[in-house]
Structure 1
């Protein structure tokens, strides 16, 4: 992808996740996904759970799972403050599948004291990880592959 580069910084509570020059970034806004190119009008958006695609100025393309946060564009610079972020290629699919199963069981439990909202969010995070891991590695979606 060719175009004018701009600076993107992605930070999480654990520290700097990404810091570099990009041509384009797409992110999961709460009202739907959006894309940003150089010289974009200033704006701020809340982020939802979803996929962020980064097209680096070097030509490299990277995908990450985002788990909420905020996205700000101003002065040909974009900053993402994410609740959590994970590179798709680092997702542990078997672990995500186990997390999904545990969260699904908790959502379905009818016992007092179960925080269903927390379990539902865990279910959504695991579902996103599984979807992105399958998308990144077509072999992972084949029966018996791992």
Structure 2
């Protein structure tokens, strides 16, 4: 039996699909993979790509900017304040955001710039582009 996966942001449902595996990174817990039959789980998501292996063999990758993941009864719910599917990522915009964040870090604006840099890296990684 496959997993039913829903990736939801406040604006809309980005993905509702059947999958064989979901990989995510949690805060304080590291990387975790979910397969059918996984024990119930709730975790806080890090700013990082989430990989969803669909039942037809394709892989859908999303840049997830924090949020929560809940797994129960072969249902995976990913709730994020902001998430983008790889096909929807504007790579040039992400590169510009990365450059702005790196410059802000050099000027000493650590906290805000670090979060912006993490988001830019997640977008670039999800889009399949190398993170410089």
When normalised by structure 2's length, the TM-score is 0.86
Aligned twin of 1:144: none
Greater RCO between the two (CA within 8 Å, min separation 6)? 2
Aligned residues: 129
Q: Which contiguous aligned blocks of 4+ residues in structure 1 show a shift greater than 3 angstroms?
A: none
CA contact (8 A) 2:49 2:125 kept: no
In the alignment, structure 1 residue 18 sits paired with structure 2 residue 12: no
Choose from 117, 120, 123 the match for 1:123. Answer: 117
Aligned twin of 1:56: 54
For 1:59-70, what aligned pairs fall within 5 Å after superposition? 59-70=57-68
For 1:1-146, what aligned pairs fall within 5 Å after superposition? 4-30=1-27, 31-109=29-107, 116-133=110-127, 136=128
Distance 1:20 1:131 in 2: 22
CA contact (8 A) 2:14 2:85 kept: no
Q: Which runs of 5+ in 2 are unaligned?
A: none
Distance 2:7 2:90 in 1: 22
Distance 2:9 2:76 in 1: 14
CA deviation string 1:109-145 (max 9, x = no partner) = 25xxx6x422221111112223343xx25xxx6xxxx
When normalised by structure 1's length, the TM-score is 0.79
Q: Which runs of 5+ in 1 are unaligned?
A: 142-146
Distance 1:37 1:128 in 2: 23
Q: CA deviation at 1:94?
A: 1.8
Greater Rg over alpha carbons, structure = 1
